[in-house]
Structure 1
Amino acid sequence: MKLGIMQPYFFPYLGHFALIAHTERWVVFDVSQYTPKSWMSRNRVLHPQVGWNYVNVPLANSSIAITTREARVQDLPKTRANVLGKLTHYRRKAPFYEQVVQLVNRTFDAVASDSLVELNVQGLVAVCAYLELPFDYAICSELNLDLQHIDSPGGWAPAISRQLDASFYLNPPGGRDLFEPQDFARHGIRLGFLQFDEFRYDAQPYTCEPGLSVLDVLMWNSPQAVRHVLASHSHILEP
């Protein structure tokens, strides 16, 4: 089983979904210290004039004193309205505007609590369904794993991979300096890194800005085109 483990990000960039597309099971990593002003509570979309601006999820308890699973959204209806408001300038310009607005609404409609993790996971679920990507996920804090003795940032993934009987662990390339391959190999687990090449697309009358939220990508590209990019722009690298 090929495993991916990532924090729950808010409508993350396309490379996040490339990792999902190349794994068979996904663990939403919600048991570590929360990081304020991170991709968990904000992302970026095109600005109406030039460049980009943030779409944010204000929290009621944003602090490094909590774990990610404890993060609570301050006002879900207001957050939905603010996100949709930041997307209105795409109307009559982006060919898939209505589909993306429906996707955002499906995300918020599916959330039954003020949990940031739930909101972000429902965003992943909605995007994967729209792209027809299989998404077999679990929430780390709900798996009853033995993670009491992790003493370094690089220790989480080997421990989770071993306890879930993964045969291959796939991570973004930024983790190359974080992991020791032998920590995986001693349990018969292969370690790989997914390199996702920059994807540029026609966003006229705007200028394409790379690395924005998946919401921007989906505004301008069909699900079929995005699935092709997830395959053609991805490369699995050895440690």
Structure 2
Amino acid sequence: MSYIAIHQPNFIPWIGYFHKISLSDTFVFLDDVQYSKGDFHNRNSIDSKNGKIYLTVPIRSNNSYERINKKQICYMRDWKSRHLKTLFYNYNQAPNFPEVYQLICSVYNQDHEFLYELNIDLIKKLLIYLKIDTQLISSSELNIDSNRTDKLVDICKILEGKYYIFGSGSSYLETAKFTENKLNLIPQNFVEPIYQRVNHLGSKNLSILDYVFNTDKYLIKESFLEDRMRIREKQLEFIT
């Protein structure tokens, strides 16, 4: 049995993104689809001492219909220093600040030409930190020409997946196409956890950075593993 999850390579995504990765055997970065301006491809939010704020990576103003993996980062202003100063100011009293901040700095010290490269590097570093060893691949490596649901189905078929894990924002899925191809749909069913924070303003849907700065990484992995086991046990019960 092979569990597949697919998502665009977003910028320091929320914790639910990493939860989905942990549930899957193979996670696919959907990098060869159209870039969506105003989405989370180049920005995400953190908690500050005054409430939710956004960290944004500036993008060169090229063709608005370009694919995600063609979007280049703009370095006309020093956004990296601004991001790091913002993180330091708002999280330097958090319990895991030194280790997580060093991790982020190690990626920011590189000059990535393309946005998706920066995003994937940050995600991979955080996965290593959380000790999540799901296989990772980019959809552009698979050379699939189909679109929308057909593309997701084709990815699952090429990777010999049997189960496709989908999140709450997947209302666009044409579920019949999965059934026709003998692919089982598994809902992620993720509930954002409540946790102690250095900033106590209660903002929701933040970047995972807020969570890892404040929460023990072993507790995070233990929670993810419990959900992973639960999904697999449920499917085995269904089969038998």
* TM-score, normalising length: structure 2: 0.87
CA distance in 1, matches of 2:91, 2:3: 39
Q: Give the letter for the 1:121 counterpart.
A: I
Query: Which one is further off, 97-106 or 214-223?
Result: 97-106
SS at match of 2:219: helix
> Which of residues 172, 183, 199 is equivalent to 1:178?
172
1:77, distance to aligned residue in structure 2 (A): 8.8
Q: Which amino acid aligns with 1:25?
A: T
Partners of 2:99 and 2:202 in 1: CA distance: 20
Task: Name the CA distance, whole Å, in 2 between partners of 1:43 and 1:77.
Answer: 18
Which of the residues 161, 167, 177 maps onto 2:162?
A: 167
Give runs of aligned pairs for residues 211-226 of structure 1, distance below 5 A. Answer: 211-226=205-220
Cα distance change on mapping 1:210 and 1:108 into 2, 3 Å: same
Instruction: Describe the SS at the equivalent of 1:173.
Output: coil
Q: How many residues align?
A: 231
Q: Judge conservation of contact 1:94–1:203 (CA < 8 Å) in 2.
A: yes
Instruction: Work out whether 1:38 is the aligned partner of 2:32.
Output: no
Code of the residue aligned with 2:113 in structure 1: it is D
Q: Following the alignment from structure 2 to structure 1, what is the Cα–Cα distance between the partners of residues 164 and 125?
A: 24
Structure 1 unmatched ranges of 5 or more: none
CA RMSD of aligned residues (A): 2.3
What is the distance in 2 between the residues matched to 1:98 and 1:12?
20
Task: Please state how far the C-alpha of 1:139 moved relative to its aligned partner.
Answer: 1.4
Structure 2 CA distance for aligned equivalents of residues 183 and 76 of structure 1: 45
- Which stretch shows the higher mean deviation, 161-170 or 51-60? 161-170
Contact 1:34 1:63 in 2 (8 A): no
* Distance of 1:65 and 1:18 partners within structure 2: 30
Relative to 1, partners in 2 of residues 1:92 and 1:12: Cα closer, same or farther, differing over 3 Å?
Answer: closer
Q: Residue 188 of structure 2: SS of its match in structure 1?
A: strand
Per-residue deviation, residues 183-238 of structure 1 (Å, max 9, x unmatched): 11222211111011121211145323221101111111111121133345788699
For 1:77 and 1:225, the matched residues in 2 are separated by 38
Match of 1:87 in 2: 87
Match of 2:112 in 1: 113
CA distance in 2, matches of 1:232, 1:53: 32
Tell me the SS of whatever aligns to 2:108. helix
Letter in 2 for 1:20: I
CA 1:84 to 1:165, structure 2 compared with 1: closer, same or farther past 3 Å? same
Q: Render the CA deviation track for 1:41-63: whole Å, top value 9, x for unaligned.
A: 00011122x21100110111365
**2:54 is paired with a residue of what secondary structure?**
strand
The residue number in structure 2 matching 1:133 is: 132
Aligned 8 A contact 2:48 2:90 in 1: no
3-state SS of paired residue (1:200): coil
Give the corresponding residue for 2:56. Answer: 56
Shift of 1:166: 1.0
Gaps of 5+ in 2: 236-240
Query: Which moves more between the two structures, 8-17 or 71-80?
Result: 71-80
Matched with 2:5 is 4
**Cα 1:92–1:73 shift into 2, 3 Å:** closer
Higher RCO (CA-CA < 8 Å; seq separation 6+)? 2
Going from structure 1 to structure 2, the CA distance change for 1:167 and 1:205 (only over 3 Å counts) comes to closer
Instruction: Report the residue type matching 1:215 in the other structure.
Output: L
